[in-house]
Structure 1
Amino acid sequence: MADLSGFDPNLAGNPHNNIFGLPFTEEEAALVLLPVPWEVTVSCTAGTARCAEHIFKASLQVDLFDADIPNGWKEGFYMREVNKKILLKSDYLRKEAELYIDYISKGEAVEKNKFMCKSLRDINEGSLLLNDWVYEQTRELLQRNKLVALIGGDHSTPLGLWKALAEQHGDFGILQIDAHSNLRTSYGNFKYSHASVMHNALSEIPHLTKLVQLGVRDYSETEHQYVANNPARIACFLDRNIKERIYEGDTWKSITNDIIAQLPQKVHISFDIDGLDPKLCPHAGTPVPGGFDIEPLLYLFKRIIESGRQLISFDLVEIGVGEQEWDANVGAHLLWRLCNLMIKSKQQWSTTS
């Protein structure tokens, strides 16, 4: 346990400490955050590969008191340093991807261009290496009985974590907060695109028994059909359908009851920041009008834990980088609440098991 006798949680965050200014080492922390600086296949706005460093800086301004779990931070949160080799790999392949995306957007045939064929191969191989790296990093932490969460990067980044969770926990479900379904077989021939991550998860992880999507409002016809053809494994609560229920007099509490009923016992939260209203995340990787404020989602997460379900992990992805650091500020505050919810769930399960 860390010696907190000289630490005052009411002071400004110390930049010489770790995330949120907390004085924990990785060994001392109950929850370890893995930053994944990767945005190779993003198809709109770049920048999310560097969001973890901006969130770290913004986190020093977050007050450490959370009325729902006042002393949760004392269990320890720790963020690993950004892996520079992964970031450099992302930067290099991102340039390749930009050229490739520009090429195919003009209707050119990839197979007629040897350079583009090589770029596509390099990008897919690089994404596979990234998935393996995330898997190895998170598996090692889980084997040490750490709580683990991931900070992206684009939404392709958590796939390795989900595979590690399946090994550790067996059957589990994902609650996906997102403007997009991410159920494409591939996108631009990128097998491990951010737009394909949920399709890949359902295809490659048999222990993923249920995907519950929340806030989706931008999706293709094939994704719509994929959801319709897989009702046993996918439940999609479209943004417009949720709002229509509220317009017609339904309550958010009633809607959250329906969402929670779809979830299995163990739950991972996959939080793409573009699931929020773009006013909260204007530099998100692929912003879409509509979406949520933060408090309704935090209410849902709290009720999931109160239902007796176990929150086993989360990822927070697609946070952009802007000149005013507003996105990082929102991301840091959201990250703080998610970290505390992880501790709340841990404490609940420690008393019941």
Structure 2
Amino acid sequence: MREHCHLPQSIGVVGFPFSKGQPRTGAELGPGALREAGLVSQLESLGNHVIDFGDVELEPVSRDEPVMGVKNPLAVGTANKKLSDAVTKLLKQNQSIITLGGDHSMAIGSIHGHAQVEPDLVIVWVDAHADIHTPLTSPSGNIHGMPLSFLARELQDYVPDLPGFDWCSPCISVHDIAYIGLRDVDPAERAIIEKFGICSYSMQEVDKFGIREVVDRALQQLDPSGTRPIHLSFDVDGMDPSLTPSTGTPVPGGLSLRETLYLAEKIAETGRLSVLDVAEVNPALGTDDKKQMTLSNTVDVTTTFFGRHRQGNAPHGYEIPRP
């Protein structure tokens, strides 16, 4: 396992302009909008060395018919193969990675690529949704609700072969996953979570225990030794839709800005954040004000994962001027 350093860090940014994992257009605009909102410059202002590698080059897929009700399998599979390859390549250069989505089907590629370099990773999944449907349990057929089922070894008996996914070998255990912020979980997903004993903290537990206790418990359950690299998959709908309204499947009653920033601070403090997904920003949804609020709050949270402190950040090497 490569070393995970404290700030300042070397960070690679890669965009995944893709929206075929769900029915709404616009999520493919997320990477560009986050860059325009100043994400890279704000990361650099914290002393980080940031290289923006641009977007994964995706080619249109023709004749992508549904298979067993699953929509756009070939497009999702081939796009995520490219993301997996990109993440693997960049991680080997000894840097942390931020993947900018894109819908949450992107986690198939980003986690798979991460696991090729750091197979001991753990996953903190911050989301309103569990995204662990199998192709046979999903009521919608949208793959952004299925990424974890393609990746977990314990679920392979429940996942049929789909076109475009022959490269996607399972690479994690269900016991490597911790959910935070769930509040819209379908019955079949709840059955999967309970059958396999997946670590799960819904908004009910956040309300009951508080975000500090929830984060501490989740990290302790995933990794009692405190040594494993962390893959943080952040769907912006994990936050309350009053904070990130420009997203495709908003669910009321989500994490507050304070709770989300605290979570990001605690993950940053571990020094083990290896890959961060930022998923489901959709600048095509909502008014300009809602778009700007979504982008601003998402940038604030993302930079907090990489060293921004609410108490303020002293510039590196700053000398207080003398008269």
User: What TM bracket, shorter-length normalisation?
Assistant: 0.7 to 0.9
5 Å-filtered alignment, 1:123-138, equals 123-138=72-87
Matched, 1:30 2:45: no
How far apart, CA to CA, are the structure 2 residues paired with 1:60 and 1:237?
29
Q: Choose from 175, 193, 205 the match for 2:124.
A: 175
Q: Choose from 317, 323, 330 the match for 2:279.
A: 317
Using a 3 Å threshold, how does the CA distance of structure 1 residues 140 and 251 change in structure 2: closer, same or farther? closer
Matched, 1:327 2:275: no
| 8 Å Cα contact 1:48/1:153 also seen in 2 | yes
After TM superposition, give the deviation of residue 220 of structure 1 in Å.
1.1
Matched, 1:289 2:268: no
Using a 3 Å threshold, how does the CA distance of structure 1 residues 144 and 251 change in structure 2: closer, same or farther? closer
One-letter amino acid matched to 1:318 = E
1:81 aligned partner = 54
After TM superposition, give the deviation of residue 304 of structure 1 in Å.
4.1
Q: TM-score, structure 1 length as denominator?
A: 0.69
Using a 3 Å threshold, how does the CA distance of structure 1 residues 72 and 259 change in structure 2: closer, same or farther? farther
After TM superposition, give the deviation of residue 213 of structure 1 in Å.
0.5
After TM superposition, give the deviation of residue 125 of structure 1 in Å.
1.6
After TM superposition, give the deviation of residue 240 of structure 1 in Å.
2.2
- Secondary structure at 2:179's aligned position in 1? strand
How far apart, CA to CA, are the structure 2 residues paired with 1:39 and 1:284?
12
- Secondary structure at 1:339's aligned position in 2? coil
Using a 3 Å threshold, how does the CA distance of structure 1 residues 82 and 251 change in structure 2: closer, same or farther? closer
One-letter amino acid matched to 1:255 = V
Structure 2: where are the runs of 5+ without partners?
A: 1-8, 154-168, 309-323
Using a 3 Å threshold, how does the CA distance of structure 1 residues 73 and 240 change in structure 2: closer, same or farther? same
| 8 Å Cα contact 1:272/1:317 also seen in 2 | yes
How far apart, CA to CA, are the structure 2 residues paired with 1:72 and 1:193?
36
Q: Choose from 245, 262, 266 the match for 2:221.
A: 262
- 1:256-281 per-position Cα deviation (integer Å, ceiling 9, x unaligned): 33222222232111000000000111
How far apart, CA to CA, are the structure 2 residues paired with 1:77 and 1:46?
29
After TM superposition, give the deviation of residue 241 of structure 1 in Å.
3.2
1:109 aligned partner = none
Structure 1: where are the runs of 5+ without partners?
A: 1-28, 65-70, 98-115, 342-353
| 8 Å Cα contact 1:77/1:339 also seen in 2 | no
Relative to structure 2, which stretch is displaced further, 130-139 or 73-82?
73-82
1:213 aligned partner = 179
| 8 Å Cα contact 1:56/1:332 also seen in 2 | no
Using a 3 Å threshold, how does the CA distance of structure 1 residues 79 and 188 change in structure 2: closer, same or farther? farther
Number of aligned residues: 273
Q: Choose from 31, 35, 41 the match for 1:52.
A: 31
RMSD: 2.9
1:196 aligned partner = 146
How far apart, CA to CA, are the structure 2 residues paired with 1:163 and 1:61?
25
| 8 Å Cα contact 2:96/2:273 also seen in 1 | no
The structure with more radius of gyration: 1
After TM superposition, give the deviation of residue 144 of structure 1 in Å.
1.8
After TM superposition, give the deviation of residue 74 of structure 1 in Å.
2.6
Q: TM-score, structure 2 length as denominator?
A: 0.75
- Secondary structure at 2:231's aligned position in 1? strand
Matched, 1:159 2:108: yes
After TM superposition, give the deviation of residue 62 of structure 1 in Å.
7.4
One-letter amino acid matched to 1:224 = R
- Secondary structure at 1:130's aligned position in 2? helix
Using a 3 Å threshold, how does the CA distance of structure 1 residues 326 and 31 change in structure 2: closer, same or farther? same
How far apart, CA to CA, are the structure 1 residues paired with 2:68 and 2:28?
20
- 1:290-347 per-position Cα deviation (integer Å, ceiling 9, x unaligned): 11123323323333454x5622211010012143332222222222222337xxxxxx
Using a 3 Å threshold, how does the CA distance of structure 1 residues 227 and 76 change in structure 2: closer, same or farther? same
Using a 3 Å threshold, how does the CA distance of structure 1 residues 238 and 77 change in structure 2: closer, same or farther? same
How far apart, CA to CA, are the structure 2 residues paired with 1:271 and 1:149?
11
2:161 aligned partner = none
Matched, 1:222 2:172: no
- Secondary structure at 1:184's aligned position in 2? coil
